[in-house]
Structures are given as C-alpha cells and as structure tokens.
C-alpha cells in the first residue's frame, strides 16, 4: 500500500524500525470522524519498553482515514465489541521494517496495551519470516494461540483480559527490504 511507504521514522526508542502514524477518531453513524491530534502514552506498568514516555506521531493521512477500507475496519471493530455510538477508536498505522537479522515486532514483550478492546489487522508482508501473533491468558503462561496474519486477516481480543506478543521478523533475502504492514485499533469500553 502506498500510504505505508511514506510512514515516518520517529525519535522514539523503536522509531528506526517501527514506523507509524496515529490518529484518534470517533465512530459516528458508521463513519470515521477524526477528533484531532493527541499524544500517545502508556504507563510503565503496562509498557516496560517505553512506559511513561509521551510519544508524538504524525496523523494518519486523510485519504486513508476517509477510505472505504478504514470505514469497514472501524465498523467491524465497533460492531464486534459492541462499542457505543460516538466511541473513540485509536488507530495506529504501522510498518515494522526488518533492519536486523531479527527485528522485534513487539519490543515490550508479552504485554497489554491498557485498553478494553484491540484489533490487529494484517495488511501486507514482504520478504519476511516471523511476526507470529501470540495470545496468552496471563503473562506467565505459554501462548494458547499463535498465528501469522496473512494480508487481510485480523485478530480481535479483550486487551483487559488477555496478553499478547509477536515473534521477531527476519528478512528472507537479507539484501532486500522486508517489512510487516498492519493497523492496530484500540478502544475503551466506557460510554462516549
């Protein structure tokens, strides 16, 4: 997807290989309405890698936010999680680039993101192995679910009840760029 090719690097600890844009939207009458810029921060109780770090990301391009595909993703996410009308959905558009022999997709390890609902949607895999999504009942047990998301596949989970992680990615042909493109959608369960 062309919009993933233009994702910016950041100065954050993972900013050289986890390229990202971030927007917060409201889901209103089946439509996606951007509600403005917001910094992203997670507590260090949740994120041991970049906890309590205020992270700023460029917003997702309007053409992407207003696309039929984004509307469909947000509608399915809202319906699947019984989100109330006007619920806020945080959207991360990400490309994880395989810059090392093994590049961490989730450098924070087994974790929760601090939301009630989360969806990870696979968009495109190029020249990589790995990136297997793993779900856990808690952070001390082996995973009960493992899956490499193919293009167009998604996993939805109750982030407040389950934990998740992903295996590192490696380039198949080391001389060529390898990457994993995905959207991550998150929401809280309270009423709008």
Tell me the pLDDT tens digit for each residue of 121-149: 999 999 999 999 999 999 889 999 999 99
- By residue count, the chain amounts to 192
Nearest to 122 by CA among 78, 62, 42, 185: 185
Identify the CATH homologous superfamily for domain 2-187. Answer: q2cbj1_9rhob like domain (2.60.120.620)
What is the mean predicted confidence (pLDDT) over 137-165? Answer: 94
Phi first, then psi: give them for residue 8, nearest 5 degrees. Answer: -85, 155
Compute the chain's Rg from CA coordinates: 16
- In this structure, what DSSP letter does residue 41 have? -
Beta-bridge partners for 24: 90
Per-residue pLDDT band for 188 (boundaries 50, 70, 90) equals confident
Whether residue 72 is predicted with pLDDT greater than 90 in this model: the reply is: yes
Q: 100 or 20: which carries more pLDDT confidence?
A: 20
Confidence band (pLDDT; 50, 70, 90) for 104?
confident
Largest CA distance in the chain: 49
How far apart are alpha carbons 5 and 144 in whole angstroms?
33
CB count in 10 Å sphere of residue 162: 15
Instruction: Report CA torsion sign: 84, 85, 88, 89.
Output: positive
Q: What is the pLDDT of residues 2-59, one digit of tens each?
A: 689 888 777 655 556 788 898 999 999 989 988 876 665 444 555 444 444 566 778 8
Average pLDDT, the chain: 85
pLDDT in tens, 73-97: 999 999 999 999 999 999 999 999 9
The yes-or-no verdict on residue 183 having pLDDT over 60 is yes
Please state the φ and ψ torsions of residue 189, each to the nearest 5 degrees.
-85, -10
Q: How much of the chain exceeds pLDDT 90, in percent?
A: 57
Q: CA-CA distances (angstroms) from residue 67 to 46, 72, 92, 105, 155?
A: 32, 9, 15, 26, 21
Whole-number Å distance between alpha carbons of 46 and 152:
28
Q: What is the token pair recorded at 146?
A: 């493992």
How far, in Å, CA of 186 to CA of 61, rounded?
Answer: 18
pLDDT of residue 111: 85
């Amino acid at each position: 997807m062309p919009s993933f090719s233009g994702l910016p690097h950041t100065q954050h600890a993972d900013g050289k290989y986890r390229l990202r844009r971030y927007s917060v939207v409201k889901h209103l009458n089946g439509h996606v309405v951007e509600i403005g810029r917001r910094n992203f921060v997670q507590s260090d109780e949740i994120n041991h890698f970049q906890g309590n770090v205020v992270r700023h990301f460029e917003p997702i391009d309007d053409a992407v936010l207003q696309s039929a595909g984004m509307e469909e993703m947000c509608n399915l996410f809202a319906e699947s999680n019984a989100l109330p009308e006007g619920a806020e959905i945080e959207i991360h558009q990400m490309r994880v680039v395989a810059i090392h022999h093994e590049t961490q997709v989730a450098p924070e390890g087994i974790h929760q993101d601090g939301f009630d609902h989360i969806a990870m949607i696979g968009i495109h895999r190029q020249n990589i192995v790995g990136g297997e999504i793993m779900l856990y009942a808690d952070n001390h047990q082996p995973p009960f679910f493992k899956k490499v998301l193919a293009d167009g596949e998604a996993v939805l989970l109750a982030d407040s009840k389950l934990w998740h992680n992903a295996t590192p990615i490696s380039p198949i042909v080391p001389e060529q760029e390898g990457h994993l493109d995905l959207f991550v959608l998150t929401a809280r369960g309270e009423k709008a």
